[in-house]
Structure 1
Amino acid sequence: MIESISLKNVASFDSTGIQIDNLKRVNFIYGSNGCGKTTISNFLLNPTDPKFQNCFATWKNGTELKTLVYNKEFRVRNFDKGKLEGVFTLGEATKEQKRIITEKNEQLKQFKIEGERIRISLTQQEEKLSFLETDFKEFAWTKIYKKYQSIFKDAFVGSMKSGDLFKTRLLLEFTNNKGKLKTIDELKEKASTIFVETPQNLNFISQINFDRIIEIEKDSIWKRIIVGKADVDIAKLIQRLNISDWVNQGRTYVQESNICPFCQQHTITDKFKNQLESFFDETYLMDIESLKILKQEYSSLIQTVINELNSTELTQKELKNSKLNLDKFASLLKTLISQNTTNNEYLNNKLKEPSRSVELISQKELLTQIFELISTANNEIKQHNDIVLDYSNQRNDLINAIWKYLIDEFKGEIEKFSTTKKGLEAGHNSIEAQLKNKLKDYSNLNSEIKELSKNVTSIQPTINEINRLLKSYGFNSFEIVPAEEDGFYKIQRENGEIAESTLSEGEITFITFLYFLQHAKGGSTEDNVNEERILVIDDPISSLDSNVLFVVSTLIKEILKEVKSDKGNIKQVILLTHNVYFHKEVSYEGLNRKGEKPQFWILRKNYKFSKIQHYNDQNPIQSSYELLWRDIKEWEKNSGITIQNTMRRILENFFSILGNKRDDYLIGKFQTQEEREICRSLLSWVNEGSHTFSDDLYIETPDGMIVKYLNVFKAIFKHTKNIGHYNMMMGISDEIETEQEVEIALAN
């Protein structure tokens, strides 16, 4: 059942919109055309339509029921296809079959009532749990966290963003914290030192490996005098003049031509070339190659070491608390770079003049000192990191001790919460199990009813019932017959002609409504014949004469009588209409006032937007004449939009139609010329305002003018000796007014 409806930002409903609360089993909404009734019914028909994104309906216990809506859309959906879908009912079931299904439906209804009762108990239990959790969360946050946040803030890291996080941490510590209890003074003292600045781990410095560098420096090849073969004829001359390197460099020129590179004469013979090649034999060439390889390896290794040491120096300078002796390290590195430059010169010279003996500067001592500096720094880093590790342990121990102190201080409150919560959860689980079993019973019984209904439902009883009602109320020229396609109807005349396209508006309206009523009693399939539903009926009497209007109201009242007593599968009816006479007929209860009282609303369109007023279980509409007087009484709620037209219609009804009195008669009842002019002004105003656009009226009619003319309106009834009628229609006690009071009213 729908409990409330909210509509905003759609059709004639503005951003404030309307709220229809306290909906009961039977609900009447009266409103003139264009004030938003169809918008309400269309929303209930298709609430997921994007245009209704700001509208919503609230269902009892959150359980939505099938909603059957009768409005203009119903006719379009069902009567513009050339055929009607069948409606299944229990019409052909035997009395015994109906009795069994009815009894089981009553049992199913009882299951639902019991299920709702259990669901309410479950909701109440959940609310108790939620209140308990919220109350304890507030306690933990305000009484514990707020009390100690200034001194133990670091202990609350990870649980300070919300009360839920803090409460969760507190309960977790209560369950798991087995630490030793310490005094508050001990905790404060440790917190003042440990919760200051957290030391960070330092990375170890990469150590260097220089063994291969030392090996290359010690290689004997650097001191060895590398010369050619001694037993060659020219060897003695080369050795005596010590020109081996010079000859070796000039040898390439000799190979290219026979011209002597020294005297530029053609004196170079093949024999001389062969002696040069023999002097610089394979052994010589291998030594030269070894020189090149060792030099390249040495240069690469020492440069790599220097690059690593440069990087180390830059990295350590950026640290606040580097453990490396940076001054000494920088000095050693500078010396290393300098000595390497010198060694490079030696190596280049040796390669250029292999016969020269060179001795490289040993880097061993220098590299060893650097190695020891790094080793010393790494030892200090290890000690520092050990301290950091111990600090973390001490900090964790302190945090653990703080939480232990908190749960001990508030042990009573925490234990009370835990015990209460455990009991509520046990109750919740028990109720949840009951609900699960009841839902299972409901589902099993519902399946059984559907199975029974399949054997006794058909669409033929719907045909028979609609045709019976048509003939009963004088519609004899057509009837409903089965269509060629199974499960469908068609409208056919006596001669077999399809009648749908030739029906009058009144005939279509009446048969459409009869078809809707069959939907309300049955189902579109065999399975949903007994499905619970609500009905939304929007102006079902358009294009009907008064006799058929009475029939429709009678048919609806039969449904309403069942709904108010909570009988059958229709659980709620929302009826919307603009016809005062139909509203009176369909809402009239007479002496049969059993069941829940209906609710009443009036929907009005003030200027551009619609508003709604609730009248509880008091029917606000007795007649169209009384409705006019209601507009006078409630003019402020309508912003005075229709006040002029309303006054004119009341004066016409009471004085012209009922009393055959014209405007001159009314004006003549005022004694002075000034009063008569005021009355003439009123009559002119109401007649003019009733024939102009409401937009102009809204702009040009201030509240002060309305109040003034309302006083004159009252004075008319006073002077014509009809003040009793005025008081009765305005719902006020009879007044005996003096002429002076009337004059005051006119003056105002």
Structure 2
Amino acid sequence: MITQIDIKNVATYDNQGVRFDDLKKVNFIYGANGCGKTTISNFVHDTSDPKFNSCSLTWQNDLPLKVLAYNKEFRERNFGKGKLNGVFTLGEATAEQIKEIEKKSEELKTIKADGIQKRETLDKQKKEKEDLENDFKETTWTKVYKKNETAFKEAFQGSMQKETFKNKLLQEAENNNAQLETLENLKEKSETIFGEQPQRIDPISQISFDRVLEIETNDIWKKIIVGKADVDIAKLIQRLNINDWVNQGRDYIQDDTCPFCQQKTIDEDFKKQIESFFDETYLSDIKRLKELKQEYNTLTQNIINQLNTIETNQKAFDNTKLDIDKFSAYLKTLTSQNTTNNELLNNKIKEPSRSIELLSIKEQADLITELIAQANAEIKKHNDIVANFATEKSNLIKAIWKYLIEDYKTDITTFNGKKNGLEKGIENLEKQRKEKLDEYDKLDVEIKNLNKNVTSIQPTIDEINRILKSYGFLNFEIVPAQEEGFYQIQREDGTIAETTLSEGEITFITFLYYLQLTKGGISEDEVNNERVLVIDDPISSLDSNVLFVVSTLIKDIIKNIKADIGNVRQLILLTHNVYFHKEVSFIDGRTKIDNKTNFWILRKNDKVTSLQSFAMENPIQSSYELLWQELKSDGLKSSLTIQNIMRRIIENYFKLLGKYGDDDLILKFETKEEQEICRSLISWINDGSHSINDDLFVELQDRTVEAYKKVFKDIFVLTDHVGHYNMMMCEADTQA
């Protein structure tokens, strides 16, 4: 069954279009000619036509049925060459055969209903699963992604959409076996690995203080270096403690003049005693002293230069691993200590007999060595990461996802439990539904095989001829054509009535053929197919007697649809004839509303069709009253529609009063324009037509609408029926 029809961007429907919602088993659509009824029937008949690309049609449970549409195009398709395709129905079948087919058909309906129920339950389960996944997707996005986006955004690359993030989280929960790490550790690693790819850092050169420390502890610094004691002059030098003074003065002895008193007191013996006092041992110690001092000065200066270079370079390096503040403090202390030691060493050289103790730089050396070692350890870690960057990054990302799934473990477990339960239910329902489909297909084949043995086109011929004769069509009948599988129309004298039928006769025969088609099919296989009927103005060109016949036949179809008898599941009926609408929609004298029936009215204003829904309330209370309501409607803007409504009111009302003299009435109007308007309106009194003349296309200018309304009223005034005009306009106003 069709539940919804959307029509737009075609014919008189604009880009907003109209929507028929909540279609029932029986649907009545009323609308004047030209308002788009045939467009609807053509669309439902063939939704694949490109001109209907903007239109849509919704089937209940997404199960399309065969659509049989009756309209002008149907007549042209089926009666274009004076012949009709044969319609197969149950014909020469025994009661037992028909009973068997009916029994299996009922079984088929039961299986289909059961299948539809399982489909509905399946859709409900799928919707529940979809809602579960959507809720989980939203909560994971908020609770996991947004919460950790700042710290771990790099790890979320490729999963930065809600759906992909949800899927990634579930995948990691199933497969991730990384070691669980703390959040702090992950953040620390992320700062190194994420962002720009790190570059290798050269390690800091280690400084060796061993030799410096060794020189510092040499005994020579404490040794009192003096001359030989057994020399005569030694006692004097030692008593006066002038070893260093005498030793320095030796360099100034040039001749017999004393460098100290400037007297000629230096003789050879004195020189020998001086030289003997400062013997080889003394000279050796002095030499050793100078060498060690020089070595110490050179080593410490080199070390301080290296440390200064390290300090300068590391301060300029943004990614330094060295604790530069501590390093600078230690270096400053070391430099100060070295300055002090240099002074001590200089003093020792000047006064070898003095004992000194150098400041030990071991503590600062150890501190500096430890800082450099720590920095190099960090540099090694960094360089190891650089050397294995891809691996390290991959491991970090896995560790991050491991942390996330552990943090969100309860929610993931709950979701997976519900999802698995729904999936098992869905799988089971799909299996059951497939079994029903297989069962349906098997039984459907059995029914079609039975139909092939008992179906025939002859019952259709007999039924159409019976209806023709029962309603007075005695001068022609339907007979099999020479070409097998076709009908043709034959006169009483045996001649083929291909070109001599009237429009009304062709319309009636074609509609009777359509009604037989609703009961059978063009082939044996189609006889029991479920179907939807779309009937568009079946009473055009028919007189009032035949109109009653057609409405009676359609009411039989409506009765069976509501009772769920036969294969017709739904009817959509479109008409412009209020008599026919009122007749065919009549239920009984007591029942006014039926929950299996809905009503709509189509209107065309300013060349655009609009739709009004009346649900189960039948808007056609009286055809004559409806015309007055339409005339009084504020939404009525089409000049052509207004003109035609006026004509139909005049036709309906004055037909009951007898013939009026057209010219006498026309001449009562003073202006030429009013006379022409009156002529166009009262000419319908003599036409005897029961519908709007489809061949009349007189489009009025908007400025003449008021002129038509004035002439229309004056016709009632001039015929002494202005009281009726006032009453109907007042009633229309009240009902509106």
Q: Structure 1 pair 510/693, CA: closer, same or farther in 2 (3 Å)?
A: closer
In the superposition, relative to structure 1, how do residues 89 and 200 fare at CA in structure 2: closer, same or farther (>3 Å)?
farther
Aligned equivalent of 2:24: 24
Residue 696 (1) aligns with residue 695 (2): no
Mapped to 1, the partners of 2:186 and 2:150 lie a distance apart of: 13
Match of 2:510 in 1: 512
1:129 deviation in Å?
0.8
Q: Contact conserved, 2:38 with 2:71, CA < 8 A, in 1?
A: yes
- Deviation, structure 1 residue 393: 2.5
Q: Pairwise mapping of residues 298-377 of structure 1 onto structure 2 (< 5 A)? A: none
8 Å contact kept, 1:564–1:596: no
Alpha-carbon distance in structure 1 between the residues aligned to 2:482 and 2:472: 27
The equivalent position to 1:473 in structure 2, one of 471, 474, 477, is 471
Contact kept in structure 1, 2:31 and 2:574, CA below 8 Å: yes
- For 1:96, the equivalent position in structure 2 comes to 96
Letter in 1 for 2:156: F
Q: 1:732 to 1:470 in 2, by over 3 A?
A: closer
Kept in 1, the 8 Å contact 2:189–2:396? The answer is yes
CA contact (8 A) 2:636 2:642 kept: no
Contact 2:632 2:729 (8 Å CA) reproduced: no
The separation in 2 between residues aligned to 1:640 and 1:51, in whole angstroms, is 28
2:197 alignment partner in structure 1: 198
Which residue pairs with 1:521 in the alignment?
519
Write the mapping of 1:46-61 to structure 2, written as runs, cut at 5 A: 46-61=46-61
Deviation at 1:649, TM superposition (A): 7.5
Of 479, 482, 501 in structure 1, the residue corresponding to residue 480 of structure 2 is 482
In 2, are the aligned partners of 1:607 and 1:641 still within 8 Å (CA)? no
Aligned counterparts of 2:551 and 2:645: Cα–Cα separation in 1: 28
Distance apart, 1:597 and its partner CA: 3.0
Q: Where does residue 425 of structure 2 map in the other structure?
A: 427
> What is aligned with 1:546?
544
| 1:290-332 CA distance string (max 9 Å, x none) | xxxxxxxxxxxxxxxxxxxxxxxxxxxxxxxxxxxxxxxxxxx
Structure 1: how far apart are the matches of 2:539 and 2:454? Answer: 33
- Contact 2:112/2:440 (8 A) holds in 1: yes
Identity %: 56
Structural mapping, 1:6-21, within 5 Å: 6-21=6-21
Amino acid at match of 2:112: K
Aligned-partner SS, 1:573: strand
Indicate whether 1:168 and 2:167 are aligned: yes
Change (3 A) 1:602 1:145: same
Q: In structure 2, do the counterparts of structure 1 residues 412 and 658 end up closer, same or farther at CA, with 3 Å as the change threshold?
A: farther
CA contact (8 A) 1:28 1:574 kept: yes
Task: Kindly state the Cα deviation for residue 496 of structure 1 after the two structures are TM-superposed.
Answer: 2.1
Match of 1:555, SS state, is helix
Task: Report SS of the residue matched to 1:469.
Answer: helix
User: In structure 2, what is the equivalent of residue 121 of structure 1?
Assistant: 121
Check conservation: 1:8, 1:17, Cα contact below 8 A: yes
- Write the mapping of 1:191-270 to structure 2, written as runs, cut at 5 A: 191-199=190-198
Give the CA deviation at 1:35. Answer: 1.2
Size of the aligned set, in residue pairs, is 524
Q: CA RMSD in A?
A: 3.8
Is the partner of 2:141 in helix, strand or coil? helix
2: CA distance, partners of 1:698 / 1:104: 66
Q: Distance in 2 between matches of 1:643 and 1:126?
A: 53
- Tell me, yes or no, if the aligned pair for 2:18 and 2:611 is still in contact at 8 Å: yes
Q: Could you list the per-position Cα deviations for residues 685-737 of structure 1 after superposition, in whole angstroms to 9, with x for gaps in the alignment?
A: x9899899656217988xxxx9xx99xx9xxxxx969988766544569xxxx
Residue aligned with 1:506, SS: helix
State the match for 1:579 in structure 2: 577
Counterpart of 2:112 in structure 1 is: 112
C-alpha deviation, 1:582, in angstroms: 1.1
Inter-partner Cα distance in structure 2 for 1:660 and 1:502: 33
Q: Which has the greater radius of gyration?
A: 2
Structure 2 CA distance for aligned equivalents of residues 401 and 511 of structure 1: 81
Summarize deviations over 1:525-580 as a string: whole Å, max 9, x none: 11110001111111111221111111111111101100122221001111111111
TM-score (norm 1): 0.64
Q: Quote the Cα distance in structure 1 between the aligned partners of 2:459 and 2:408.
A: 73
Whole-Å separation in 2 of the counterparts to 1:725 and 1:700: 19
Equivalence for 1:440: 438
Match of 1:501, SS state, is coil
Match of 1:181 in 2: 180
Q: Distance in 2 between matches of 1:587 and 1:609?
A: 27
> Quick one: distance in 2 between partners of 1:480 and 1:643?
42
In structure 1, the residue matched to 2:368 is none
Equivalent residue, structure 2, for 1:672: none
Shift in Å, 1:622: 2.5
User: Structure 2: how far apart are the matches of 1:11 and 1:584?
Assistant: 28
Cα contact 1:7–1:17 (8 A) shared by 2: yes
Determine the C-alpha separation between the residues in 1 that align with 2:678 and 2:407: 83
Matched residue of 1:11: which SS?
coil
Give the C-alpha shift of residue 397 in structure 1.
2.1
Q: Which digits, 9 at most, give the CA deviation of each residue in 1:613-645, with x for residues without a partner?
A: 111111111223211233256423658985687
Q: How far apart in 2 are the matches of 1:181 and 1:566?
A: 66
* Ranges in structure 1 where 5+ consecutive residues have no aligned partner: 202-382, 662-682, 714-718, 734-748
Q: Which residue of 2 aligns with 1:604?
A: 603
2:91 and 2:34 mapped to 1: Cα distance?
40
| Aligned match of 1:5 | 5
Cα distance, 1:21 vs. partner?
Answer: 1.4
Letter in 2 for 1:48: S
What amino acid maps onto 2:120 in structure 1? I
Provide TM-score, normalisation by structure 2: 0.65
Give matches, 1:625-636, under 5 Å: 625-632=624-631, 634-636=633-635
Instruction: Compute the displacement of 1:463 (Å).
Output: 0.9
SS in 2 for 1:104: helix
CA contact (8 A) 2:2 2:60 kept: yes
Aligned with 1:589: secondary structure?
A: coil
Q: Which amino acid aligns with 1:43?
A: F
| Alpha-carbon distance in 1 for matches of 2:177, 2:387 | 22
Equivalent position SS for 2:90: coil
SS of the equivalent of 2:487 reads strand
